[in-house]
Amino acid sequence: RTAIAEYKVNLSTNISPTNDQDLDGKSITLGLDIKSNSLYEIESFFSLMDRYDFLSKDLMNGSFNLHSQISGELNNLNIEQFNFLYSDSLQIIARGRIQELMEPDSQEMEFQFDRLMVPKSLLEIAWDKLITDSSFSVPDYLLVDGVYNSSKAEHNFSGNIESNAGEIKVQQASANLGSIPDYNLTASANLLHLHTIQDIDLDNIAFRMNARFKGEDIYTADAFIDISLDSLTYGNYEYGNLDISGELNRGQFDAKIKSSDTNFLFSLSTAGEFFENNLKASVDTDVEHIDLEFLNIYDEATGIDGKVAFNILLLDQNSFAINSVIHELNLSLSDTLYQLPPAQLSFETTD
């Protein structure tokens, strides 16, 4: 017992002062309970503030309870229980294993998070440290459950992330931080009330996503992304059936967007190349039907259809050329049809 904390420790081990040079086959069983009025109790033997710069003195003064049960050999430790509660708000309930504890280069960890609850107060602190855009507000809470495992260079997570703003299901999120970084993500999301997070006219959105990025920077990377947008509510209209796909191969790219929404039927394809100071792209759009009245963009019956192509050359911020070819463009009002004949338009900078 200390001035601010109470400890309960149950320890059994076959490690002794006479055999601690060779830890192979040595085992430990540890039960630990801590009740403390301050995180400074941990700081005395494990530096928190040096490792985590978002911790303030106010946070360090929060009370916490810790209950843990660990057993096994040092090269294969089982964390049977890890229950942590901070200021009656942050809660971690987990279990897992650590292999090769004494060998950092070959160490492996796996944790099953049954409950990781982060309150809004702590999310706001982390948000202020990591995100500079103050136009976003954080959700009321974040609730995570899933499996995380890691080795020296690989990190993997699968599970669920939930808040009052919706839910994200992560089938796979992995990062290989070897000589060439490699990131993969397969997930689906159903996000709600997005206008409460940022002041925009966007409400609910549901989508599925599969993506990969391998490389040291965007100019030399190999990457792809596939997004299926099942629904999106914008301007009091629910869009549906929008597919987005794209590939990137060392500066060469192509991408496609296709909407099968009955009031927003269109497709777009683009291909080209880009490097640090150079962008070349061709874009083809095919608008089968866009109903501005049903989309709540215009008050009267208004429809658009047509085909337009673009060629874009961007050398730097002050030098560009855009050529567009309008193959067909029709604007229909309630009692009038306007047809724009084929045309070619060019825009470019001059010295």
Burial class (CB in 10 A: 0-12, 13-18, 19+), 144: buried
Amino acid occupying residue 340? L
d(C-alpha 134, C-alpha 118), whole Å: 20
Between 103-117, 226-240, 312-326, the lowest mean confidence (pLDDT) is in: 312-326
d(C-alpha 250, C-alpha 214), whole Å: 10
What is the 8-class DSSP label of residue 100? S
Amino acid occupying residue 226? D
Let me know: does 287 contact 295? Beta carbons within 8 Å: no
Let me know: does 5 contact 36? Beta carbons within 8 Å: yes
Let me know: does 149 contact 108? Beta carbons within 8 Å: yes
Other C-beta atoms closer than 10 Å to the C-beta of 225 total 16
d(C-alpha 165, C-alpha 334), whole Å: 39
pLDDT over threshold 80, residue 44: no
In this structure, what are the phi and psi dihedrals at residue 95, rounded to the nearest 5 degrees? -150, 165
* Closest of 158, 136, 137 to residue 149, by C-alpha: 158
pLDDT tens by residue, 17-27: 665 566 677 78
Other C-beta atoms closer than 10 Å to the C-beta of 177 total 12
> For residues 188 and 140, which has the higher predicted lDDT (pLDDT)?
188
**Token duo for residue 119:** 């309150």
Instruction: State residue 127's pLDDT score.
Output: 74
Q: What is the pTM of this model?
A: 0.83
Q: What is the mean pLDDT of the chain?
A: 85
Stated length of the chain: 351
